[in-house]
Amino acid sequence: MPAITPNTPPAGPLAGPLAAPLAGPRDGLSRPERWRAMTTIAIAVAMSVLDTAIANIALPTIAADVHASPAASIWVVNAYQLAVTVSLLACAALGDIIGYKRVYWTGLLVFTLASGACALSTSLPMLVIARVIQGFGGAGIMSVNTALVRFIYPRDQLGRGIGFNAFIVAVASATGPSIAAAILSVASWHWLFAVNVPLGIVALWYGARVLPATPRSGNRFDLVGALLNAAALGLLMIAVDGLGRGENRVLAGIELVAAIGFGLVLINRARAMTAPLLPVDLFRRPVFALSVGTSICSFMAQTLAYVALPFLFEDVGHRSQIATGLLMTPWPAIVVVVAPIAGRLSDRSAPALLGAAGLGVMTVGMALLLTLPDGASWADIAWRMAVCGFGFGFFQSPNNRLLLGAAPPERSGGASGMLSTARLLGQTTGSGLVALSFGLGGAAGAGIGWGVRLSLGIGTAAAGMACVISLLRLGQMRSAR
């Protein structure tokens, strides 16, 4: 494969606005161009995040309509998550090689077409296959969206760009259940996916014209590394899911060992490469490695709370699903407000210190939820959730800014892909730990409440660990000066 220089667009079906060369070195786009580009990114990112939330809400309806068992219908969610997980780093590596705009636009095209296929599905196998394809498209969007932000905003405003991205993710996460419920109240579940098609068409047309072209490395794509990465992360996710559902533990153990084995081979192979698919070259930079560790621990803590608390509210507190949804809302609602502010502050102040402060607040919030008294009022629960949301929102944008900024511009794709992979690893591990906590509680005859408390205790420890890791970055940054 011949090298492709930044100023030589490759010929082929994606030539034209998608392969437009860089006119020269630019530190971000002008303000009007910037807002047009971020509008396109906002639409696509919101679609990919919403699709995870709305599928969870619609599972009972989908299962009844296609005559599937509840256990089988879970694959409507798992198929999407699995496809995203196994292809994220591969899509990020492609972004470094052929340009982030092309990977992003192609991912959006696949996502939009697959959404149409989901809407037309008449059976569970059809829907699951369409969701797998949709997940590959979602990986194309999520793997390089942060890398694109780096070329949309000037260096001294990168934090506000990342803060805006976090704002979109938080809004989509917070409103997803409500949007799904609203659509299901007036239409069939097919429309949950059909609404993506016109939005995707608009974003595709707009994105081809306004997203910036980026430098391309021209490196060869590491197919073997991509397969090893897919095997390692895919088996890890399947093993954790199997353990959580109480399925064959021997089989889950074999899958876990195999995942570790594939992972070790991938890491050993990547060490000899200059720009590997798994960015081990970036992990040699202490700030990058610490930022990834901080992200994994923080998302683990968040997921432990998000998955365990509904059981506390409904099974122990005997509240309705609507009440539970309202009680869970303060966390993402506060993130919506705080994340953009934290992003702007990270352009002027030490991001590591801001992240540590946010994680310290989140740790306190998790401890407050852990010590939540029985029969707590709505207000008692809401303000504790708000404290967690404030801390998480204050940490996220500065941490992402540090992680992305620690990588050289030509490795922005690898950094962006690792950012999303760290989030998924934290979420997967958190879900597995909740299932383990509930299993231990059941085995001990202690009940669901005990399992929730154990989950929140682990989450508090994970948030505290993330805070410590974030503080370690201060020393690394001082020594690098």
- Tell me the per-residue pLDDT of 296-311, one tens digit each, with 9 for 90 and over: 999 999 988 888 888 8
Buried b / exposed e along 261-286 (16+ C-beta atoms within 10 A): ebbeebeebbeeeebbbbbbbbbebb
**pLDDT tier, 237 (very low <50, low <70, confident <90, very high otherwise):** confident
CB atoms within 10 A of CB 343: 29
- Region 265-270: what's the mean pLDDT? 89
Structure tokens at 5: 């220089």
Measured CA to CA, the distance from residue 223 to residue 242 in angstroms comes to 28
Average pLDDT of the chain to the nearest whole number: 83
More confident: 411 or 461: 461
**pLDDT tier, 456 (very low <50, low <70, confident <90, very high otherwise):** very high
Give the rounded distance of the alpha carbon of 96 from its chain centre.
Answer: 19
* Residue 112 in this model has a pLDDT that exceeds 90: yes
Measured CA to CA, the distance from residue 320 to residue 318 in angstroms comes to 7
Residue with token string 């998302």: 299
The pLDDT tens digits of the residues spanning 8-59 come to: 333 333 444 444 433 334 567 788 888 888 888 989 888 888 877 677 677 7
Measured CA to CA, the distance from residue 468 to residue 98 in angstroms comes to 38
The pLDDT tens digits of the residues spanning 244-263 come to: 666 677 888 888 899 999 99
Measured CA to CA, the distance from residue 89 to residue 419 in angstroms comes to 10
- Give the global pTM: 0.80
| Contact (CB, 8 A) for 91 and 103 | yes
Structure tokens at 344: 């702007």
Structure tokens at 101: 């705009």
Measured CA to CA, the distance from residue 182 to residue 180 in angstroms comes to 5
| Contact (CB, 8 A) for 392 and 302 | yes
CB contact set of 356 (below 8 Å; sequence gap of 6+): 395, 467, 470, 471, 474
Measured CA to CA, the distance from residue 272 to residue 187 in angstroms comes to 54
Question: Among candidates 112, 100, 128, which has minimal Cα distance to 20?
Answer: 100
Measured CA to CA, the distance from residue 80 to residue 414 in angstroms comes to 22
- State residue 249's pLDDT score: 74
The pLDDT tens digits of the residues spanning 72-109 come to: 777 887 888 889 889 999 998 898 888 889 999 999 99
- The winner for highest mean pLDDT among 144-158, 247-261, 348-362, 378-392 is 378-392
The three-state secondary structure class of 189 is: coil
Measured CA to CA, the distance from residue 349 to residue 79 in angstroms comes to 41
